[in-house]
Structure 1
C-alpha cells in the first residue's frame, strides 16, 4: 500500500493506492490548497491521520509528483515557498519505509500509460506509429513538458524543463508581445506566455495596446478576482464571451500553445502522439478543436509533413496522481 500525491502550485491531490485496485482506483483521496501548508510532510501527515487506518493497513511507501527538477532524490518545488523536499527527509518525517520523488510531468507521462479512451478528448485522430515516442505538454500553473519512450514491454517517462525555453514569436503580434515582456522579465520563456502565470501577462499586453472592449463591470470583476487567470479565461470563453479583450487572450494563448506543442513533438519525434494535460488545457479544449491550434502545431516548414498524422489528445484524468501511483507501486515491486 502506498500514499501518492500530485503536488501542484495551486492544489495538491493525495490518495492511498494498493496493488489490488492498481494505480487508477484510490482507496481514499483528498484535495488540499498547497499554499495553506508550510511543507509537504505536514500536509501528508494530516491526510494520513484523517484517511489511513492504523497498523498494517497504513501505507508503507510514498510517491509524490512535484513541479520542479528532481536530482539525487531532492527537489525544490517551483511555484511554492516550501523548504527543499528530499526522499529521505520525507520518509523519516512520515514514518515510511521509502519515498519516491518525481517531476510532475514525468508522473503525468506515466499516468498517460494507464489512461483510458473515455478520459481523452481527441483533437486529431491521426495515425500513431506503434512504439514511437509520445510528447506531453501541460499548461497549468506553469508549463510542463515531458515525453515517453518505449523500452521493451514498458514505457519510460522522461522529465524536462522545456517550458522555460526561450519564447519564439511566430508573427508580428507575438514580436510585439516579446518586446512588451522583455523589460519586465529579461528572459521571456514559453511559461510566461502559455500557462496560468502567463495568462495575466497576455491580458496586460492587450490592455496596454487598448485591444478589445472592456466594460467597467468586467474591469472591476477582474480587479477583485482571487484567481485572475481563471477570471480572464472564463470571461473569454464561449460563442458570446463577456469580454472581447479576454477573448483575444484565449485566442493568443491557444495559438502559442499550438506552436510549442509542435516544437516539443518535433524535438522528440513524437509520432506516437501529443497529449495535453492540465487545468487550462481541459478548460479550453473546445477552443483547441475549433481554432488555429492544430494548424500552429503542424506548421513547421519543411518538417510539417512529420507532424501531419500525429494524433493529438487532451487528457481529462488526474494523470499526475495516477503516474505517481504507478511509480510507487513499481517501487514496491509490483507491476
Structure 2
C-alpha cells in the first residue's frame, strides 16, 4: 500500500493506493481542513488510525516550493521535512513534490475521460510535454522522456514578467504597474489575478460596474468565485465579469503558447488547475487556438502541438501516488 497526499493551505487530501490497481484508483480517500491541524504528521496519524495498514512508501504534492526535501506551505504555518516525516512513519520513504510537479506526474496516467482535447495536433513520440495550471496562483511544469518514462520537472514560470500582446494588454500592464513593482503572469492569469483584471476592466475599459455584483464583491473575502460565476452566467450575465474572463483566457492562451516554445512541447500542452474547467466554453473557442499559435515564424510548429484541458480535480493526488510507486 502507498500513501499519497495533495497538501494545500485550505485542505489536505490523503488516500491509500495499491500497486495492483495503480495510482489512478484510490482505495481510501479523506479530506481534512488543513488549518485545524498543527502539522501534516498529525493529519497522517489520524488518517492511518482510521485506515491501519503497512505503508511501502509515501509522496505528497505541496502548494509551495520544495528545496532539499523541505517545503513551506503557502498560506499555512507548516514546514514539512521529508526526513523528519519519514522518521515519524518508522522509516517509510517520503517524497515531497511541488503541486505542479505532482500534476505533471499525473499526465501519463490520465484517462480520456479526465481530459478535454482542444486540438489533437500531431504529437511527436517521446516529445516534451508542457503543463500550465491557473488555480489560486499560476503553476508551470514540464515533462521529458528519459528513454523509459516521462519525468516531471518543476518551475516557477508563473512568476516571469507579463508581456502584453496588444494595446489593451499594454494598458493593463501600465495600470498594474501603479500597484505592483513587478507584474508577473500570475498577477493576470490566476485566481489571485482575476480581481486585478476585473479592476482594470471596470476602471479603464468599460468604466462601469454591475450594482448587484459590486455589492457581492464588497462583502466577499475572495472575489474570484463571484466574478467567475457572474461572467459565465447564462442569465443576467455581468459584462464586466465576462470581459474579465475573456481577457484572462486570452492571456492564458498566449502564455500556454510561450511555454510550448520554451520547452519545445511537441508532445503536447496540458492545462490544469481549478479555473480552466470553470471557463471551459471560453477556452474551447477558436480564438484560444489562434492566440496560442500566434508566434510569428514558429506559428506552424505550434499548429502541430496537441492541447488538452485537465478536468480531473484529483490529478495532483494521482500524480503524488504515481511518484510514491516509482
TM-score band by shorter chain is over 0.9
- Structure 2 unaligned segments of length 5 or more: list them: none
Q: How does 1:257-296 map to 2 (within 5 A)?
A: 257-290=252-285, 292-296=287-291
Question: Deviations 1:285-316 (Å, cap 9, x if unpaired)?
Answer: 22101252221111011111110111111111
CA distance in 2, matches of 1:279, 1:7: 15
**Is the Cα contact below 8 Å between 1:148 and 1:157 reproduced in 2?**
yes
**Greater shift after overlay, 35-44 or 98-107?**
35-44
Match of 1:300 in 2: 295
Cα pair distance change 1:250/1:17, threshold 3 Å: same
Q: Is the 8 A contact 2:210 2:240 kept in 1?
A: no
Match of 1:255 in 2: 250
The structural deviation recorded for 1:93 is 3.6
Distance 2:54 2:219 in 1: 43
Distance 2:291 2:66 in 1: 31
Shift of 1:204: 1.7
2:173 maps to 178
Distance 1:35 1:212 in 2: 39
Any conservation in 2 of the 1:91–1:99 contact (CA below 8 Å)?
Answer: yes
Q: SS of the counterpart of 1:113?
A: helix
The structural deviation recorded for 1:218 is 1.7
1:324 matched to 2:320: yes
Per-residue CA deviations over 1:40-61 (Å, capped at 9, x if unaligned) read 22333333333x12xxx24343
Q: Distance in 1 between matches of 2:235 and 2:302?
A: 33
* Match of residue 139 from structure 1: 134
Equivalent position to 1:69, from 56, 65, 68: 65
For residues 236 and 127 of structure 1, do their structure 2 counterparts lie closer, same or farther at Cα, with a shift above 3 Å needed?
A: same
Question: In structure 1, which of residues 121, 124, 127 is the aligned counterpart of residue 116 of structure 2?
Answer: 121
Q: Which residue of 2 aligns with 1:196?
A: 191
CA–CA distance in structure 2, aligned partners of residues 150 and 7 of structure 1: 27
Q: 1:175-220: CA deviations, max 9, x gaps? A: 1111122232211111111011111111122222262653322211
Residue 162 of structure 2 aligns to a residue whose secondary structure is: coil
Asked if structure 2 preserves the Cα contact closer than 8 Å seen for 1:212 and 1:245, the reply is: no
SS of equivalent to 2:163: coil
Moved over 4 A (4+): 238-241
Relative to structure 1, the CA distance from residue 180 to residue 152 in structure 2 (aligned partners, 3 Å threshold; closer, same or farther) is: same
Correspondences of 1:1-335 after superposition (within 5 Å): 1-50=1-50, 52-53=51-52, 57-77=53-73, 79-95=74-90, 97-209=92-204, 211=206, 213-240=208-235, 242-290=237-285, 292-317=287-312, 318-330=314-326
Normalised by the size of structure 1, how large is the TM-score? 0.91
Q: Is the 8 A contact 1:270 1:310 kept in 2?
A: yes
How many residue pairs get matched?
325
- SS of equivalent residue, structure 1 residue 292: helix
Between the aligned partners of 1:275 and 1:28, the Cα distance in structure 2 is 27
Q: CA deviation at 1:5?
A: 0.8
Distance 1:299 1:83, change over 3 A: same
Q: TM-score, normalised to structure 2's length? A: 0.94
